[in-house]
Chains A and B, each alone.
Chain A
Amino acid sequence: MLMIALKSARFRRTSIVLTVIAIAISATLLLGVDKIRKESRASFFNTVSQTDLIVGARSSPTNLLLYSVFRIGNATNNVSWETYQSFAERDEVAWTVPISLGDSHRGFRVMGTSSDYFDFYSFGNKKNLTLDEGTRFDGVYDTVLGADVADDLGYEIGDEIIISHGLTSADFADHDDKPFTVVGIFDRTGTPVDRTVHVSLAGIEAIHVDFQDGARSGVQLDAEQALQFDLTPTSITAFMIGLENRAQTFTLQREINEFQAEPMSAILPGATLSDFWRTISPVEQVLFVISGFVLLAGLLGMLTTILSTLNERRREIAVLRAIGARGRHIVMLIVLETLLVVTAGCALGVAALYALMAAARSTVARRYGVDLAATGLDSTQLGIIGGVIAAAVVVSLIPAFIAYRRSIQDGLSLKV
């Protein structure tokens, strides 16, 4: 029967090929959405690791997470340097990484931080930041670029960059009198680090010595003059905390949240990431539902194709019945043919998915920080393929039984 089904399908190759392509598109879309969903999720949760608490001015946990980790949005207020230091110096605190945001460079956020950032910030599975080229920042006007910043803007070690005040790059707001020198470029991380310009906290202070209340003061000081000032920050945007003992996390979190001297929020990154992911999960569900409808359209297209060919196949089926094919053979012929079509469609869909992933991998990784690695199909994706095949077989039972019933009505002597 398989041989007959194969040859019969090959004989009607035009309609079969179109059906295979329709199924392949459906399978590619369905598997692609699943792949992107999983990789996005993995990328999202890999953005920060080993950090026990993130602390910022009192705001919602999601807002704090967005601006401190994803460089999205702005802080409602700052945390004073004294408060930061009082927590950084506590015995239960193993390390802290200060974060100072507010400036930008050609669309990329600038982040002021300390050298602890290089030692303690980790992402993914406990991975620390590594330099692709150059060194850490040492001087006040040194900068270390994320991989995307360097790639997109074509920067190399030794290049000078101008930081803009605020998040716009309007000329009047440029700190063009205090250029920074690129001293290092990070390896790609697939996290917002790639899209960040990193400078020292002193550097942030230096470019703002002649600014007052967010605007230029009447006095303009050049880079060298600025170095004469005390560049210890008065405030920072947020800070990350790593504890000696993780069991103390909730105690310290409560203490920070109830800190009377300054209103602050402390969040657990993992829990907040989960909460935030849950808020955007309906989007992925909608995508999945849309993909499901595309699959349904593909299956209905296949059903229509099979049904439309049944009329021209009445003679073939009558002949098969005459030479002894039983009802179940006719049903099996249609179901087998469907199985071949949908299996070929799924195989083509998987091949197309991998081809697309290979083609788009670097672009997607660079633009969205999502790594579309060509890993094998996981159990969910195999389940999706199995489900598609099973659904197609169930759908094919409709034309199969119609063909069987017609074969009884037509009998042996179909005059076509």
Chain B
Amino acid sequence: MTDHAGEVVGLDAVRFRWPGQSSDIVSIDELHLGAGEHLFVRGSSGSGKTTLLNLLCGIHVPSSGTVRLLGTDLARLAPGHRDRFRADHVGVVFQQFNLLPYLSTLENVTLACAFSGRKKQRATETSKVDDTARRLLSDLNIGSELLGASVNKLSVGQQQRVAVARALIGGPEILIADEPTSALDADNRDRFMNLLFRESEARGCTLIFVSHDPELAGRFERAIELDPVIDGVGSAS
């Protein structure tokens, strides 16, 4: 039996292809991340970045191989349990931050606790969920006057920080960022990266950062490159 002690994310011989396809979209022989590690995943369009994220979040299960998060083989969980596992242990920041426009700033952050009893429990260890969200937003320099405002009224920078707060509330062990800087200029990108590193380090999150921007790789202690699918094979190197 393999020892996975200290492992937060583990991929072994992972292959994924859609039904009816003859080639793998994702092919990763081995990848292991410990607590607090920061991984940069680079790849051009069609290299399988999105599919990899879906595999890590348990939205998809690999055609073969194993995806483990916190020692749990996601493929062994029923779809509903995988969703719950994701809700409990994973925070996601999207490319365009994807805040829900019909919710206020505060509601967007606390929404993450609506689907996870564990996150809610953690967020309420010392105070109410709303108070925890307020504190988190305050730490991220979101003024209290913006908490009840529609997210449509926030600047891009503020939306970034709200998206990070939503991903971090409830203390997820794994933080996944899906090209969150792709639409930002250099200044904003650097500010966002500083924020993301600071917050993930403060909480001991394992960070998986996906981007096609090679300039960012230098800020990470580990990086993998997803090769585009060539002759039907997309792989990590």
A positions within 8 Å CB-CB of B: 1, 4, 7-8, 10-11, 315-316, 318-329, 408, 411-413, 415
Expressed in whole angstroms, the minimum distance between the Cβ of A212 and any Cβ of chain B is 86
A323 contact set on B, CB distance < 8 A: 87, 92, 111-112, 115, 166
Interface centre among A1, A4, A10, A319 (most CB of B within 10 A): A319
CA distance A64 to B94 in the complex (A): 81
A328 contact set on B, CB distance < 8 A: 80
Q: Are A324 and B84 in contact (CB under 8 A)?
A: yes
Q: Are A322 and B83 in contact (CB under 8 A)?
A: no
Query: Assuming A323-B92, A326-B84, is B112 touching A413 (CB within 8 A)?
Result: no
A327 contact set on B, CB distance < 8 A: 79-80, 83
B87, B100, B102: the one within 8 Å of A324 (CB): B87
Q: Are A324 and B53 in contact (CB under 8 A)?
A: no
Q: What are 8 A-to-B residue pairs whose CB atoms are below 8 Å? A: A4-B114, A7-B102, A316-B100, A319-B94, A323-B92, A324-B119, A326-B115, A412-B94
Which 8 interchain pairs have the tightest Cβ spacing? Answer: A324-B87, A11-B102, A324-B115, A411-B54, A326-B83, A413-B50, A322-B92, A7-B102
CA distance A11 to B103 in the complex (A): 9
CA distance A408 to B60 in the complex (A): 8
Which chain A residue shows the least CB distance to B101? A11
A318 contact set on B, CB distance < 8 A: 98
Q: Is B154 an interface residue (CB 8 A)?
A: no
B101 contact set on A, CB distance < 8 A: 11
Interface size on B, residues (CB 8 A): 34
Q: Which of B203-234 contact A (CB under 8 A)?
A: none
CA distance A329 to B60 in the complex (A): 18
Q: Are B103 and A324 in contact (CB under 8 A)?
A: no
A10, A315, A412: the one within 8 Å of B57 (CB): A412
Q: Are B83 and A413 in contact (CB under 8 A)?
A: no
Q: Are A321 and B79 in contact (CB under 8 A)?
A: no
B88 contact set on A, CB distance < 8 A: 324
B positions within 8 Å CB-CB of A: 49-51, 53-54, 57, 59-60, 79-80, 83-84, 86-88, 92, 94-95, 98-103, 107, 111-112, 114-116, 119, 166, 176, 178
Q: Are B86 and A324 in contact (CB under 8 A)?
A: yes
A7, A322, A326, A411: the one within 8 Å of B60 (CB): A411
A415 contact set on B, CB distance < 8 A: 95
Q: Are A8 and B102 in contact (CB under 8 A)?
A: yes
Query: Assuming A411-B53, A411-B60, is B83 touching A319 (CB within 8 A)?
Result: no
B98 contact set on A, CB distance < 8 A: 315, 318-319, 322
Expressed in whole angstroms, the minimum distance between the Cβ of B169 and any Cβ of chain A is 10
CA distance A203 to B59 in the complex (A): 92
B59, B79, B100, B107: the one within 8 Å of A412 (CB): B59
A326 contact set on B, CB distance < 8 A: 79-80, 83-84, 115
CA distance A1 to B116 in the complex (A): 13
Q: Are A413 and B80 in contact (CB under 8 A)?
A: no
B87 contact set on A, CB distance < 8 A: 323-325
CA distance A4 to B84 in the complex (A): 18
Which chain A residue shows the least CB distance to B86? A324
CA distance A327 to B87 in the complex (A): 13
B119 contact set on A, CB distance < 8 A: 324
A315 contact set on B, CB distance < 8 A: 98
B49 contact set on A, CB distance < 8 A: 413
Query: Assuming A7-B102, A323-B92, is B54 touching A412 (CB within 8 A)?
Result: yes
Q: Are B100 and A319 in contact (CB under 8 A)?
A: yes
Expressed in whole angstroms, the minimum distance between the Cβ of A92 and any Cβ of chain B is 78
CA distance A8 to B107 in the complex (A): 13
Query: Assuming A319-B100, A411-B50, A412-B59, is B112 touching A324 (CB within 8 A)?
Result: yes
Which chain B residue shows the least CB distance to A12? B102
B83 contact set on A, CB distance < 8 A: 321, 324-327
B94 contact set on A, CB distance < 8 A: 319, 322, 412-413
Expressed in whole angstroms, the minimum distance between the Cβ of A129 and any Cβ of chain B is 63
Expressed in whole angstroms, the minimum distance between the Cβ of A59 and any Cβ of chain B is 70
CA distance A259 to B87 in the complex (A): 90
B53 contact set on A, CB distance < 8 A: 411-413
B57 contact set on A, CB distance < 8 A: 322, 411-412
CA distance A413 to B107 in the complex (A): 22
A1 contact set on B, CB distance < 8 A: 114
CA distance A320 to B83 in the complex (A): 11
Which chain A residue shows the least CB distance to B85? A324
CA distance A327 to B80 in the complex (A): 7
Which chain B residue shows the least CB distance to A315? B98
Which chain A residue shows the least CB distance to B51? A411
Expressed in whole angstroms, the minimum distance between the Cβ of A285 and any Cβ of chain B is 44
A4 contact set on B, CB distance < 8 A: 103, 111, 114
Expressed in whole angstroms, the minimum distance between the Cβ of A408 and any Cβ of chain B is 7
Which chain A residue shows the least CB distance to B93? A322
Expressed in whole angstroms, the minimum distance between the Cβ of B117 and any Cβ of chain A is 10
